[in-house]
Amino acid sequence: MNPTARIAALHGALWSIDPWYRWSWYAWPAAMAVLITGWILISRPVNTGAWGNAGSWAKPVAQKATTSTATPIKTTTVNALDLEIMSCFANSSIGSEAVCTKLIDGGKISGSRLASVYTQRGFMRRDKDPDSAMSDFNAALKIQPDYPAALNDRAWIYMTRGDYDAALQDLNKTASQTTPWAIAAVAYYYRGFAYLRLKDYAKAVADLNEAIRRLPNNADYYLARGEAQQAQESYDAALRDFDEFGKRAPKDPRGLLARAVIFETTGKPREALAALENAVTLAPDNDFARSERDRLRGQVKDDAPEKNNPGGQPPT
């Protein structure tokens, strides 16, 4: 989930349940005035993208359903501390992390606010320094043991390391009807992914169904469910999910690569080749897509009627 979607999911969830959160939005005009006058600069979010080496999704795509569960601002004046917290959650890869660190080391926040800042910094560190990210999530959970965002993010680290049993221990606490709506959607997705890797496909599909019910526009959820259905040999259902993924992520070739696998598995190499050709068009630098396309080109050419029937007569 990209930064914009993470922020939108949090906003929708908190707006519906927290009156102080709704009220705090009245403070934003004052904050923007401060920013414009140069009292503080919040860096622009970085669009990190959702996929790297397409064709292999050995770890779940990191999700962020929340940017903060800190106590909302309850005064009409936005003070310097409030602005620091806002900057921490701006999702700038360098500037925001430094502000989060300043907040943690400064001793000016505590309780749920401090837990949320630790979790935010851990989320920004998760790819480049997963050990430090894990330390941040552990610190957040020491302050607030049931903090759902930290549990989800720590589970993601466990899954990238192949420790799905440890991930399930955290996700069993957050994949719940009592967890805030969007945060629970992430938990169900992660737990479904863990079950998928543990080859418990029925449980994977059930959890991914719930994730999709909560956040139906998240493309990654369809991709994971399609893979689980493919493993169950429910190929038509899997193809539908890969199509839904493509509708929501039209520039991402992973759905096309997954479709190609099913077509080849079911004896349709030409359809598989067409999917791979489209994948290469989307991602010409993807080595996996190019190599599979070239392999199938040779196979389809070898199986062509003209080669097997040089006289051009229709086979009998």
Element holding 104 (H helix, E strand): helix 95-106
With H, G, I as helix, E, B as strand and everything else as coil, classify residue 291: helix
Q: pTM of the predicted model, to two decimals? A: 0.74
Task: Tell me what pLDDT residue 289 has.
Answer: 96
Domain ranges of the chain: 1-46+74-145
Percentage of residues of the chain with pLDDT beyond 90: 64
Tell which wins on pLDDT, 31 or 192.
192
Percentage of residues of the chain with pLDDT beyond 70: 71
Q: What is the mean pLDDT of residues 106-131?
A: 95
Which residue, among 292, 226, 211, 255, has the nearest Cα to 50 in the 3D structure? 255
Cα distance between residue 269 and residue 181, in whole Å: 42
Tell which wins on pLDDT, 41 or 99.
99
Tell which wins on pLDDT, 300 or 218.
218
The conformational region for residue 10 under phi > 0 = left, psi -120 to 50 = alpha, else beta, is alpha
Among 38-42, 110-114, 292-296, name the one with the lowest average pLDDT. 38-42
Residue 309 pLDDT level (bands cut at 50, 70, 90): low
Longest dimension (CA), the chain: 87
Task: Tell me what pLDDT residue 64 has.
Answer: 64
Task: Tell me what pLDDT residue 116 has.
Answer: 95
**Does pLDDT of 112 surpass 60?**
yes
Task: Tell me what pLDDT residue 242 has.
Answer: 98
**Does pLDDT of 36 surpass 90?**
no
User: What percent of the chain is helix, strand and coil (3-state, nearest 5)?
Assistant: 65, 0, 35
Q: What is the mean pLDDT of residues 228-245?
A: 98
Task: Tell me what pLDDT residue 63 has.
Answer: 74
**Does pLDDT of 10 surpass 60?**
no
